[in-house]
């Protein structure tokens, strides 16, 4: 069955089609939920809530653009709403003189991807969200500010601080790794 047929059947509330859509995309969308959740249980809750919203709003999908991208946006918004309701973002109005693009330097040969993902997961929530939205999802600071209800300056500041904390974590990890090999 094509994606368009599956979507059409889901729009008519066909449970089997909804189940197939869930099975097809839940793994990838769960990984997206993990980026914005504190643990696997929160990610699972976000995934379930997100899929409910996807099914409720399928009529709003126009068929233009990527269906997977449309679903990802719903999942991200669902996760961020949960955290906005629970978390106070550090609001900092400052003009950064440093370029946040240039302050994170990681030698990919020395740090494995799984380790880097762990370091990202260890970031404070507000930093992790801005980092993921900007670096991993490609949103602008203006878009992030609207999504998180913070100013663009706060988004830039939180990104710079996330990068700095990641750099510190990587450097500490490499020092420990080096000490162990002696």
Residue range 120-164, pLDDT digits in tens: 888 998 899 999 999 989 999 999 999 888 999 999 999 999 999
Q: Is 103 part of any domain? A: no
CA distance 85 to 72: 20
- For residue 88, pLDDT beyond 80: no
Based on the domain organization, do 73 and 15 belong to the same domain?
yes
Exposure class string for 77-94: b at 16+ Cβ within 10 A, else e: ebbbebbbeeeebeebee
Q: Are residues 81 and 7 in the same domain?
A: yes
CA atoms 100, 105, 111, 113: torsion sign: positive
Residues 23 and 67 both lie in one domain:
yes
Q: Which residues of 134-145 are buried (b: 16+ CB within 10 A; e: fewer)?
A: bbebebebeebb
Same domain, 82 and 7: yes
Q: List the one residue out of 150, 56, 160 whose CA is nearest residue 100.
A: 160
pLDDT number for residue 90: 46
Residue-range definition of the domain harbouring residue 56: 3-86
Domain boundary among 69, 86, 103: 86
pTM above 0.85, yes or no: no
Residues 19 and 78 placed together within one structural domain of the fold: yes
Residue 82: per-residue pLDDT: 82
Mean pLDDT of the chain: 85
Per the domain annotation, does 157 fall within a domain? yes
- 72 plus 121 within the same structural domain: no
CA angle, 31 then 35 then 41, to 5°: 70
Q: What pLDDT score does 108 carry?
A: 53
Q: What is the pLDDT of residue 81?
A: 86
Distance CA 99, CA 150 (A): 20
Q: What is the pLDDT of residues 91-107, one digit of tens each?
A: 444 444 444 444 555 55
- Whether 95 maps to a domain, the answer reads no
Band of residue 30 on the pLDDT scale cut at 50, 70, 90: very high
Q: Is the dihedral of CA 126, 27, 119, 106 positive or negative?
A: negative
Both 140 and 65 in one domain: the answer is: no
Residue 109: pLDDT above 50? Answer: yes
Lowest pLDDT segment from 17-21, 72-76, 98-102, 107-111: 98-102
């Amino acid at each position: 069955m094509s994606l368009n047929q599956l979507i059409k059947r889901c729009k008519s509330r066909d449970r089997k089609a909804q189940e197939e859509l869930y099975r097809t995309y839940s793994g990838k969308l769960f990984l997206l939920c993990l980026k914005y959740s504190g643990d696997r249980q929160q990610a699972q809750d976000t995934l379930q809530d997100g899929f409910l919203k996807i099914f409720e709003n399928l009529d709003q999908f126009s068929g233009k653009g990527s269906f997977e991208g449309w679903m990802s946006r719903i999942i991200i918004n669902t996760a961020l709403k949960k955290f906005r309701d629970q978390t106070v973002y550090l609001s900092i109005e400052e003009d950064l003189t440093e370029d946040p693009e240039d302050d994170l330097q990681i030698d990919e040969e020395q740090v494995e991807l799984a380790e880097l993902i762990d370091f990202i997961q260890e970031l404070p929530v507000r930093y992790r969200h801005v980092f993921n939205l900007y670096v991993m999802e490609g949103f602008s600071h203006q878009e992030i500010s609207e999504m998180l209800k913070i100013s663009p300056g706060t988004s830039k500041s939180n990104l710079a601080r996330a990068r700095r904390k990641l750099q510190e974590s990587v450097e500490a990890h490499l020092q420990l790794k080096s000490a162990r090999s002696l």
